[in-house]
Amino acid sequence: MVNLAIKLKEGTKKAHTAAENVGFVKCFLKGVVEKSSYRKLVGNLYFVYAAMEEEMERLNQNPIISKINFPELHRKASLEQDLFYYYGSNWRDQVVLSSAGKAYVDRIREIAKTAPELLIAHSYTRYMGDLSGGQILKGIAQRGMNLVDGEGTAFYEFEAIPDEKAFKANYRQTLDALPLTEADADRIVEEANDAFGLNMTMFQELEGNLIKAIGMLLFNTLTRRKTRGSTELATVE
Ligand code: HEM
């Protein structure tokens, strides 16, 4: 038995701070959210969660993965709902996996084949983060993009988890009870740091898009090309 939950929390502290400091994330936290960048992120997350959840389901007979695969955490269906909102009914034809998103998906597929226990690191990095900041991020997204409640934020709603704090405690206990060695745990922490890195690269990719959109807004304001009083950001593809 190893204290995997603490090891993960302590061992990814620096990576967490680094992720919070990526420009795209910082802008988001300040309420600078722009639909064309945000929906690209939702698109990438869709492919990432779909891969992670599919691989964990496939490994449901694996003695370690089966214990950490909680269907109530699954985000694929909620991301589909959000993509429908942002892109419309033909979202499947429009949504694109970026190169950073592809690297992330490729890594998930690879370890599922070669070292499935490392999927724990990916589950931890995404779901524990989602459960921790979900409600705050939801509010920011709603205010930043003028969303009506319930539209485009299904991702943040864990309908089958009424008490997120209690669920996190249970998830941590489950991590600690997994039959792993210290060496396994160290490898999982290493993989979690890589997972943070993959997320950061994905956010960095979106930064250029956001900067372009802000630039357009500034340009439009300066040249008054848009309707006076409009605060809507110009869409950048
Ligand atoms: C938007 C910027 C972010 C903020 C403000 C933020 C904030 C937080 C907060 C307040 C917690 C709760 C800590 C606790 O329960 O003791 C947390 C936990 C966590 N966050 Fe973030 N976070 C951010 C970004 C991220 C990102 C980008 C990831 C990874 C993709 C992430 C992954 C995690 C994980 C895995 C935990 C659980 C730590 C643990 O208890 O083991 N966070 N975050």
Q: Hey, where are the domains in the chain?
A: 4-223
Measure the CA–CA gap between 83 and 96, rounded to whole angstroms: 11
Q: What is the reported pTM?
A: 0.91
- E strand or H helix at 143: helix 129-144
What is the rounded distance in angstroms from the CA atom of residue 18 to the CA atom of residue 41? Answer: 18
Write the burial class of residue 118 (CB in 10 Å: 0-12 exposed, 13-18 middle, 19+ buried): buried
Give the residues surrounding ligand 1 with Cβ less than 6 Å away: 8-9, 16, 19-20, 25, 29, 124-126, 128-129, 132-133, 196, 199
Of 162, 142, 177, 194, the residue nearest 63 (C-alpha): 177
Our CA angle for 11, 134, 24, nearest 5°, is: 75
Q: Token digits for 87?
A: 């892109």
* pLDDT reading at 231 higher than 60: no
Min mean pLDDT across 1-5, 45-49, 199-203 is at 1-5
Residue among 74, 54, 64, 237 nearest 157 (CA): 74
- Topology of domain 4-223, CATH: Heme Oxygenase; Chain A (1.20.910)
Q: Which atom of ligand 1 is nearest to the CA of 28?
A: 1
Q: What is the dihedral of CA 56, 60, 62, 67, to 10 degrees?
A: 80
Angle between helices 35-58 and 182-223 (to 10 degrees): 160
| Interatomic CA distance for residues 202 and 101, integer angstroms | 6
Report whether pLDDT(44) > 60: yes
* CA terminus-to-terminus distance, the chain: 50
- DSSP code of 151? S
Residue nearest atom 34 in ligand 1 by C-alpha distance: 129
Whole-number pLDDT of residue 1: 78
Higher per-residue pLDDT: 25 or 235: 25
Please give the share of the chain, as a percent, with pLDDT higher than 70.
Answer: 95
Tokens of 13: 């502290």
Is the CB of residue 154 less than 8 Å from the CB of residue 82?
yes
Residue 16 CA to ligand 1 center (angstroms) comes to 7
Q: What is the pLDDT of residue 223?
A: 80
Out of 6, 10, 123, 132, mutate this one to test ligand 1's pocket (max ligand atoms within 8 Å of CB): namely: 132
Residue whose CA lies nearest to ligand 1 atom number 33: 129
Tell me: pLDDT of 230 over 90. Answer: no
How far does CA 99 lie from the centroid of its chain?
16
Atom of ligand 1 nearest to the CA of 199: 30
Q: pLDDT above 90 covers what percent of the chain?
A: 83
